[in-house]
Amino acid sequence: PGQLFIVATPIGNLSDLSPRAVETLQQVALIAAEDTRHSKYLLQHYAISTKTISLHEHNEQQRSEMLLQRLLDGDSIALISDAGTPLISDPGYRLVSLVKQQGIQVVPIPGSCALIAAMSASGLASDRFAFEGFLPAKASARRQILETLKDDSHTLIFYESPRRLVDALTDCVAAFGEARQACLARELTKMHETIETRPLVELLDWVKQDDNQQRGECVLLIEGAADSASVDEQEMSRLLALLLPELP
Ligand code: SAM
């Protein structure tokens, strides 16, 4: 059988496509793309003339079966999405799980990913983080999710639509308090790239005051809750300091 390549594409800057990604896209028999018209621009830029076929949210099930057959027949296929790494808040999960069940080799060609780029430049703790995908658009569902995350000690990472940014940040202040550090990473790798890290309530004010911050694409990162063990330790030292002078 052929191999399925999962190829990351740029999240804004066309130069972020690796030489190995270009080679792979040139050599496969078929490229499955989230939106073939959108990807045409990238493929033309790199003079890649491989045939494309669409694979998106609405046809993934049926397309996956057809692509599986092509792989079994010996063709190699590349999967790309509109931007960044496929399967990361993008289609591809059903295809990958189906073809792996059939013993077909799935090969990642790593590259851009907005959450990793944002994490790496945010200044927030990067040893443990939790990617939460998109927050729900509806306020009640969003608040519910944030509530379940308020004691989580991982750095929290969200994809968010800029139109909902002020509402989301307002709900974050309500759930997490004003003081946690938060980072807005906007238009990464593009002309107006902005990576701003401030206490949550200050970030909200800054975004409210500048409409430009409510445009483009963005990632929101929030410092995790102080972990409960270290809170206990802090409390212990405080009590110990109080008690020590009283000891004989
Ligand atoms: N698969 C992509 C990846 O690897 O990052 C994510 C796809 S998801 C449909 C699109 C979301 O990713 C956007 O709404 C935004 O939250 C984030 N994103 C994509 N490109 C970005 C960029 N250049 N700067 C900031 N955020 C970006």
For 140-179, the pLDDT digits (tens) are: 999 999 999 999 999 999 999 999 999 999 999 999 999 9
Around ligand 1, the residues with Cβ closer than 6 Å are 11-12, 81, 83-85, 88-90, 113-115, 159-160, 185-190, 217-219
Compute the radius of gyration of the chain from its Cα atoms.
22
pTM over 0.90: yes
Q: Following DSSP, what letter does each residue of 102-163 receive, concatenated?
A: TT--EEEE----HHHHHHHHH-S--SSEEEEEEPPSSHHHHHHHHHHHTT--SEEEEEE-GG
- At 121-130, the pLDDT tens digits run 999 999 999 9
Kindly give the distance from the C-alpha atom of residue 118 to the centroid of ligand 1, in angstroms, as a whole number. 10
E-assigned strands of the chain?
4-7, 30-33, 52-54, 77-80, 106-109, 129-134, 155-160, 181-186, 194-199, 218-222
Kindly give the distance from the C-alpha atom of residue 168 to the centroid of ligand 1, in angstroms, as a whole number. 17
Q: Which atom of ligand 1 is nearest to the CA of 186?
A: 25
ipTM above 0.95, yes or no: yes
Mean pLDDT of 104-112: 98
* 166 half-sphere exposure, CB direction, 13 A CA radius: 12
Residue 60 Cα to chain centre, angstroms: 20
Kindly give the distance from the C-alpha atom of residue 137 to the centroid of ligand 1, in angstroms, as a whole number. 16
Per the DSSP assignment, residues forming a β-bridge with 80 are 33
Q: Which atom of ligand 1 is nearest to the CA of 114?
A: 5
Instruction: Name the band, by pLDDT with cuts 50, 70 and 90, for residue 231.
Output: low
Q: Which atom of ligand 1 is nearest to the CA of 189?
A: 23
Kindly give the distance from the C-alpha atom of residue 84 to the centroid of ligand 1, in angstroms, as a whole number. 7
Mean pLDDT of 219-248: 83
